Amino acid sequence: MVASTPPGADARLAAARPQHRGPVLAALMVAMALSAMDNNIVSTAIPQVVRDLGGFSLFSWVFSSYLLTQTVSIPVYGKLADLWGRKPILITGTLIFLAGSALCASAWSMVSLICFRGLQGLGAGSIMATVNTLAGDLYDLEERGRVQGWLSSVWGVSAVFGPTVGGSLAQYVSWRWIFVINLPLGAAAIALIARFLHEQVVRTRHRVDVAGAVLVLLAAGALIFGLLQGGVAWAWRSPPSIAVFAVAAAATVAAVMVESRAAEPIVPPWFWRRRALAGSGLAAIGLGLLVTGPSILLPTYGQAVLGLGAVAAGAVLAMMSIGWPLASAVSGQFFLRLGFRDTELIGAGVCLAAIVFFLLTMAMGRYGSRW
């Protein structure tokens, strides 16, 4: 047993390092795949969903409701995992995700689908908050590079196969099956985690920071909601937009004040004072912009504008994502030889070069069309 004590927590978590770490890692990868593949697999089926349920003006909320609830719930799940253990939080979150998937498959309108996608996002927040933490508990530093490579490759593989699977199901079976297939995968992940993952959590009395959790959820939710609706449902400088961002700002200030005084804060104050964590957060935002935007837009654009079939529209993302699993497979060696900072700088430089090349290509195509 190796103890891992989270900063600022009274509980001490002893994560078991079982002989069967392989099945546990497989379960973590399957759980990660549920969250990673979800938006990609749904994006190619949107035209069929709109055809059956209507509500084209609301279709962006099929993705936004999922991302909103997932994002705002991650810090809460992370704190609960520190207090009560990773295993129960991961299993509970996966069950919530599967319940949301089953309800999405039975949706009768666009509004109901959006609500059930929000429930899915609540479950996905638990998965995102605990999978990487569990990997860190189970593997030593020398092994984590390789393990993180495996976990990161899930995102790349999901980005390649998700649109293809989603397009195939939407075109040849039914779009409802893109949610149904989550059920056996999630059940397998839960079974492996329950069977092979063992934790010993020293039970102590905790003071759950309810006020901090509510304020964090309100601040993050209002900010994301304002960014989603601004320029779409209302103008950026309109009273509704100003009101939403004012609520986000006020909730943020209140959350900082509450968290600085809480005995067991949801978001510890030291988190904001560490440059490495701040840089990682900015990198995550940039990665989200690079991956999530095209993953949602391109398949819909391919079907609605270019007239592609669902399978062909899903294949549009394959070339964009093919480098991800390849890079993830070797990233562990770069971590050990170059360090985390230099490896991340190399990755950021490659992303920046790709963006510049893409913009230059688009500019050349635009000016070339004029001639």
For residue 346, pLDDT over 80 is answered with yes
Mean pLDDT over 312-341 rounds to 69
Mean pLDDT over 355-365 rounds to 73
Count of CB atoms situated within 10 Å of the CB of 95 = 15
For residue 365, pLDDT over 70 is answered with no
For residue 298, pLDDT over 50 is answered with yes
- Please write the tens of the pLDDT for every residue from 51-94: 888 877 777 788 878 887 887 788 778 778 777 778 888 899 99
Four-residue CA torsion sign, 21, 22, 26, 32: positive
pLDDT for 1: 32
pLDDT for 310: 60
Residue 33 domain-assigned (yes or no) = yes
pLDDT for 103: 93
Mean pLDDT over 139-160 rounds to 67
Q: Which of 6-15, 135-144, 231-240 has the highest mean pLDDT?
A: 231-240
Task: Show the CA angle centred on residue 170, arms to residues 166 and 171, nearest 5°.
Answer: 115
What are the tokens at 224?
Answer: 């994301």
For residue 17, pLDDT over 60 is answered with no
Give the CA distances from residue 125 to residues 34, 66, 268, in Å, rounded to whole numbers and listed in that order: 11, 10, 19
Query: When comparing pLDDT for 57 and 169, which is higher?
Result: 169
Confidence band of 327 (pLDDT split at 50, 70, 90): confident
Domain count, the chain: 1
Residue 97 domain-assigned (yes or no) = yes
Mean pLDDT over 320-329 rounds to 66
Query: When comparing pLDDT for 32 and 199, which is higher?
Result: 32
For residue 324, pLDDT over 80 is answered with no
* 320 touches 294 (CB < 8 A): yes
Q: At what angle do helices 21-43 and 60-84 cross, to 10 degrees?
A: 160
- Please write the tens of the pLDDT for every residue from 232-244: 778 888 888 899 9
For residue 368, pLDDT over 60 is answered with no
Scanning the chain, the segments in alpha helix (DSSP H) are 21-43, 46-53, 60-84, 86-105, 110-138, 141-172, 177-180, 182-196, 210-229, 239-261, 275-304, 310-315, 318-321, 323-338, 340-370
pTM to 2 decimals? 0.70
For residue 4, pLDDT over 90 is answered with no
> What does pLDDT average to over the chain?
75
pLDDT for 5: 40
Residue 236 domain-assigned (yes or no) = no
- What are the residues whose beta carbons fall under 8 Å from the beta carbon of 220, sequence distance 6 or more? 71, 72, 248
The Cα–Cα gap between 231 and 247 comes to: 18
Residue 274 domain-assigned (yes or no) = no
Residue 16 domain-assigned (yes or no) = yes
Residue 141 domain-assigned (yes or no) = yes
- The residue segments making up the domain with residue 78 are 2-207+286-338
Residue 252 domain-assigned (yes or no) = no
Confidence band of 217 (pLDDT split at 50, 70, 90): confident
- The enclosing domain of 24 has a CATH number of 1.20.1250.20
pLDDT for 20: 65
What are the tokens at 58?
Answer: 């609301």
Count of CB atoms situated within 10 Å of the CB of 290 = 14
Residue 269 domain-assigned (yes or no) = no
For residue 275, pLDDT over 70 is answered with yes
